[in-house]
Amino acid sequence: MNCHIDFPITLNMLPYTVKKDKERVDTSKYLYDLSTVIVHKGTMDSGHYFAFTRLGGDKVRNMNSVCYRKLC
């Protein structure tokens, strides 16, 4: 796959649980904030992984085995 993929910053996992009475559940316990995205560039046989990591606020870093770069 070689395309752009959008995903939410906050993920609600409640719909994927087996809670019977979801209206009485504290939904905040099922919300997760995205902190890191791992990317693979290359083919199925070879390539390189790197990660974009949010360090808090608007600070984002690009990290891999070769370098560590401040993006914003």
The answer to whether residue 49 is domain-embedded is: yes
**Structural domain total, the chain:** 1
Q: Which amino acid is at 13?
A: M
The answer to whether residue 52 is domain-embedded is: yes
Whole-structure pTM value: 0.57
pLDDT in tens, 16-34: 887 666 678 888 888 998 8
The answer to whether residue 2 is domain-embedded is: no
Domain enclosing residue 19, as ranges: 10-70
The answer to whether residue 26 is domain-embedded is: yes
The answer to whether residue 3 is domain-embedded is: no
The answer to whether residue 25 is domain-embedded is: yes
The answer to whether residue 5 is domain-embedded is: no
Higher-confidence residue: 57 or 39?
A: 39
Identify the CA nearest to 55 among candidates 65, 68, 40: 68
Dump the DSSP string for 2-70.
-S-----SEEE-GGGS--S-GGGS-GGGGEEE--EEEEEEE-SSSEEEEEEEEEETTEEEEEESS-EEE
Q: Find residue 37's DSSP bridge partners.
A: 52
